[in-house]
Amino acid sequence: MDTELSWGPIFARMALQFLPVWVALIATFAVSIHFRRRLGLYGKLFDSPVGMLGFGLVMFWVFTALFANLIITHDPLGQLSGLKNAVPGSALQDTKGDTLYPYYLLGGDSLARDVFSRMVMGARRVLAIAPAATAFAFMIGITLGLPAGYLGGKLDTVLSFIANLVLAFPVILLFYLLVTPEIKDAGYLFTVNLFGAEGSWRASIPNVMAATLFLFPIIFLTILFNSRYFTNPPMRNLYVGITLLIGFWAYSGLAFNADPTGIFSMDPNLLNVFVSVVFVNAPTVFRIVRGIVMDLKARDYVAAGQTRGEGPWYIMLWEILPNARGPLIVDFCLRIGYTTILLGTLGFFGLGVSPESPDWGSTINSGRKLLTLFPHPAVAPALALMSLVLGLNLLADGLREESLKD
Amino acid sequence: MVIFVARRLGVMVLTALVLTFIVFFLTNLPPNLEKLARTEGSVRMTDEAVASWIEGNGHGGSVFTRYSEWLGIAPGWVITDEKGVTRGRCIDNGVTAEDAPRFCGILQGDWGFSTFSKEPVIAFLGEKLAATGWLMLFVMLVMVPVSLLMGVLSGMREGSRTDRVLSSAAIATTATPEYVSGVILVAVFASATTGLSPMLKEWGWIETNTLFMGTATSAERGFTFWNFGLPVLTIALYGIGYIARMTRASMTEVMTQQYIRTARLKGVAFKDVVMRHALRNALIAPFTVIMLQFPWLLNGVVIVETLFNYKGFGWTLVQAAGNNDIELLLGCSVVAVFVVLVTQLISDIGYVFLNPRIRLS
Amino acid sequence: MTDTTWDPSKPILEIDNLSISFFTRLREIPAVMDFSCKVMAGESMGLVGESGCGKSTVALAVMRDLGKNGRIVAGSIKFKGRDLTHMTDDELRHIRGSEIAMIYQEPMASLNPAMKIGAQLAEVPMIHRNMPRAEAWALARQIVADVRLPDPDRILNSYPHQLSGGQQQRIVIAMALMSKPALLILDEPTTALDVTVEAGIVDLVKDLGEKYGTSMLFISHNLGLILDVCDRLCVMYSGEAVETGNVVQVFDKMRHPYTQALFRSIPLPGADKNARPLVSIPGNFPLPHERPPGCNFGPRCDYFQAGRCDATEIAMSPVPGDDRHASRCLKWTEIDWDAPMKAKVSKAKTPIGRVVLKMDDLQKYYSISGGAFGGGTKKVVKANESLSFEAREGETLAIVGESGCGKSTFAKVLMGLETATSGSIMLFDENVQSTPIQKRNTDTVSSVQMVFQNPFDTLNPSMSVGRQIIRALEIFKQGTSDQDRADRMLKLLDLVKLPRAFAERMPRQLSGGQKQRVGIARAFAGGAKVVVADEPVSALDVSVQAAVTDLLMDIQRENKTTLLFISHDLSIVRYLSDRVLVMYLGHVVETGTTDQVFQPPYHPYTEALLSAVPIADTKVVRKRIVLEGDIPSAVNPPPGCPFQTRCRWKSQVAPAGLCDREMPPMRTLAGGHQIKCHLPEAVLTQMEPVIKVAAE
User: Is there a domain that residue B2 lies in?
Assistant: no
Q: Does residue C2 carry a pLDDT above 60? A: no
Structure confidence at residue B118 (pLDDT): 83
**Does the distance separating the beta carbons of C93 and B258 come in below 8 Å?**
no
pLDDT of residue A145: 92
Instruction: Write phi, then psi, for C111 (nearest 5 degrees).
Output: -105, 140
Check whether residue A108 and residue A159 sit in a common domain.
Answer: no
- Let me know whether A375 and A393 are in one domain: yes
C62 against A256, higher pLDDT: C62
B179 and B275 inside one domain: yes
Q: Which of B108, B132, B155 is the last residue of a domain?
A: B108
Domain that holds residue A311: 128-336
Name the closest residue on chain B to residue A395, using Cα atoms: B171
Determine which of A20-24, C241-245, C348-352, C644-648 has the lowest per-residue pLDDT on average: C348-352
Contact C436/B at CB under 8 A: no
Is the Cβ pair B177, A367 closer than 8 Å? no
Same domain (yes/no): A156, A118: no
Q: What pLDDT shows up at residue C328?
A: 86
Whether residue B139 sits in one domain with residue B44: no
Residues 70-129 of chain B with CB under 8 A from chain A are: none
Q: Which whole number is the average pLDDT over B48-67?
A: 80
More confident residue, A224 or B57: A224
Residues B203 and B136 in one domain: yes
The pLDDT of residue A139: 92
The rounded distance, in Å, linking the Cα atoms of C588 and C604 is 13
Same domain, A210 and A280: yes
**Between the CA of residue C395 and those of C529, C580, C659, what are the distances in Å?**
11, 11, 34
- Between chains, do B264 and C68 touch, taking CB under 8 Å as contact? no
pLDDT (0 to 100) of residue A196: 61
The secondary structure of residue C670, as a DSSP letter, is G
Same domain, B86 and B172: no
Name which of B180, B226, B313 to mutate to probe chain A: the one with the most chain A Cβ atoms within 10 A of its Cβ: B180
Count of domains in chain A? 2
The answer to whether residue C671 scores a pLDDT higher than 90 is: no
- Listed in order, strand segments (DSSP E) in A63-220 are 90-91, 103-104, 189-194, 197-202
Rg of chain B over Cα atoms, rounded to whole angstroms, equals: 26
Residue A351: inside a domain, yes or no? no
Distance from CA of A388 to the nearest CA of C (A): 30
Angle between helices B279-307 and A325-348 (to 10 degrees): 30
Chain C CA closest to residue A228 = C471
- Average pLDDT of the segment spanning C560-567: 88
pLDDT mean over B169-194: 86
The verdict on residue A350 lying in a domain is: no
- The answer to whether residues B336 and B230 belong to one domain is yes
Could you read off the pLDDT of C417-460 as tens digits, one per residue? 888 888 888 888 778 777 777 778 888 888 888 888 888 888 98
> Chain B partners of C115 at a C-beta cutoff of 8 Å?
276-277, 280
Inspect the interface and report whether the beta carbons of B265 and C175 lie closer than 8 Å: no
| Total length of chain A | 406
Taking all residues of chain B, what is their mean pLDDT, rounded to a whole number? Answer: 83
Q: Give the residue-averaged pLDDT of A364-381.
A: 83
* Shortest Cα–Cα distance, C473 to chain A (Å): 10
What does the pLDDT read at residue C298? 84
Residue where one domain finishes, among candidates B87, B108, B129: B108
Looking at the complex, report in whole angstroms how far the Cα of residue A131 sits from the nearest Cα belonging to chain B: 16
Closest-CA residue of chain C to B269: C93
Peptide bond into C601 cis (omega under 30): yes
Q: What is the mean pLDDT of residues B170-188?
A: 88
Which chain A residues are closer than 8 Å to B31 by Cβ?
182-183, 185-186
Buried-state track B246-262, b at ≥16 Cβ within 10 A, e below 16 = bbbbbbbebbebbbbbb
The answer to whether residue B11 sits within a structural domain is no
Residues B326-345: pLDDT tens digits? 888 888 888 888 888 888 88
Is B323 in CB contact (< 8 Å) with chain A? no
Judge whether B258 lies within some domain.
yes
| Separation of first and last alpha carbons in chain B | 11
Percent of chain A with pLDDT over 70: 95
Query: Does any domain span residue A20?
Result: yes
pTM for the full predicted model: 0.85
**Same domain for A111 and A176:** no
B220 in any annotated domain? yes
- A29 with A146, same domain? no
Most confidently predicted of A35-44, B45-54, B231-240, C281-290: B231-240
* Contacts B191 to A, Cβ<8 Å: 371-373, 375
CA dihedral C632, C633, C637, C642 (to 10 degrees): 40
Q: Are strands C215-220 and C183-187 parallel, antiparallel or unpaired?
A: parallel
CA distance C607 to C624: 10
Residue B164 and residue B104 in one domain: no
Chain A neighbors of B299, CB-CB under 8 A: 170-172, 345
Q: Domain for residue B9, yes or no?
A: no
Q: What is the pLDDT of residue A63?
A: 92
Based on the domain organization, do B97 and B129 belong to the same domain?
A: no
Count structural domains, chain B: 2
**What pLDDT is recorded for position C641?**
85
* A312 and A231 in a common domain: yes
In a domain, B98, yes or no: yes
Q: Which pLDDT score, from 0 to 100, does residue C373 have?
A: 41
pLDDT band at A97 (very low <50, low <70, confident <90, very high): low
Q: State which residues form the domain around B284.
A: 121-360
Kindly indicate the confidence band of residue A1, based on its pLDDT and cuts at 50, 70 and 90: very low
Least confident of B122-136, B286-300, B314-328: B286-300
Q: Is the pLDDT of residue A347 over 60?
A: yes
Residue B28 in contact with partner chain A when CB distance is under 8 A: no
Helices A49-66 and A115-151 cross at an angle (nearest 10°) of: 120
Name which of A232, A307, A311 is nearest C417 (Cβ-Cβ): A307
The pLDDT value given to residue A142:
93
SS3 C100: strand
Q: Which residue of C has its CA nearest to A48?
A: C25
Separation CA B265–CA C92 (nearest Å):
9
What would the pLDDT profile of A116-161 be if each residue is shown by its tens digit? 888 888 888 888 889 999 999 999 999 999 999 998 888 998 999 9
Residues 6+ apart with CB under 8 A from B162: B153, B154
A323 touching chain C per CB within 8 A:
yes
* Residues B141 and B193 both lie in one domain: yes
Determine the Cα–Cα distance for residues A396 and A329; give it in Å rounded to an integer: 8
DSSP state of A108: B
| A231: nearest CB among C415, C454, C475 | C475
Interface mutation target, options C427, C460, C476, C481, chain A, most CBs of A under 10 Å: C460
Ranges A253-257, A388-392, C143-147, C245-249: which has the least confidence: A253-257
Domain termination residue (choose one: B45, B76, B108):
B108
Q: What is the pLDDT of residue A113?
A: 83
For C150, left (φ over 0), alpha (ψ -120 to 50), or beta?
A: beta
Asked whether the beta carbons of residue B357 and residue C373 sit closer than 8 angstroms, the reply is no
**Record: contact C128-B267, CB cut-off 8 A:** yes
A193 and A83 both lie in a single domain: no
d(CA C53, CA A286): 43
Q: Domain with B342 in it: what CATH number? A: 1.10.3720.10
Query: Which residues lie below 8 Å from residue C297, measured CB to CB, with a gap of 6+?
Result: C237, C238, C242, C257, C258
pLDDT tens digits, one per residue of C88-128: 888 888 888 888 888 888 888 889 988 889 999 998 888 88
pLDDT in tens, C236-290: 988 888 899 888 888 888 888 888 888 888 887 655 566 667 788 887 778 777 7
For the stretch C462-521, pLDDT in tens is 888 999 999 888 888 888 888 888 998 998 898 888 888 888 888 888 888 888 889 999
Contacts of A337 in chain B (CB under 8 A): 175
Amino acid C271: pLDDT:
59
Q: Using a pLDDT cut of 90, give the percent of chain B over it.
A: 5
In a domain, A53, yes or no: yes
pLDDT of residue A62: 92
Indicate if A178 and A256 belong to the same structural domain: yes
Same-domain status, A302 and A245: yes
Is C123 touching B (CB cutoff 8 A)? yes
Is B274 inside a domain boundary?
Answer: yes
Is the domain of B285 the same as that of B137?
yes
Asked if the peptide bond before residue C632 counts as cis, ω within 30 degrees of 0, the response is: no
Q: Which residues of B touch C111 (CB under 8 A)?
A: 259, 262
pLDDT tens digits along C570-603: 888 888 888 899 988 888 888 888 888 888 888 8
The pLDDT score that the predictor gives to residue A390 is 93
Does any domain span residue B160? Answer: yes
> Phi, psi (5° rounding) for residue A8?
-55, -60
Same domain, A203 and A307: yes
Which other chains touch chain C, taking contact as 3+ CB pairs less than 8 Å apart? A, B
- pLDDT over threshold 60, residue B161: yes
Asked whether the predicted pLDDT for residue A60 surpasses 90, the reply is: yes
- Do residue A44 and residue A89 come from a single domain? yes
Residue C289: predicted pLDDT:
76
Residues B92 and B205 in one domain: no
Of C96, C161, C373, the CB nearest to B4: C373
User: Is residue A86 in some structural domain?
Assistant: yes
pLDDT of C368: 67
Number of H helices and E strands in chain C, helices first, is 22, 26
Which chains share 3+ C-beta pairs under 8 angstroms with A?
Answer: B, C
Could you say which of A300, A309, A310 has the minimum Cβ distance to residue C454?
A300
Q: Quickly count: other Cβ atoms within 10 Å of residue A212's Cβ.
A: 13
CA–CA separation, A397 and B163 (whole Å): 14
**Residue A348 resides in a domain:** no
**B90/B222 same-domain check:** no
Q: Are residues B81 and B129 in the same domain?
A: no
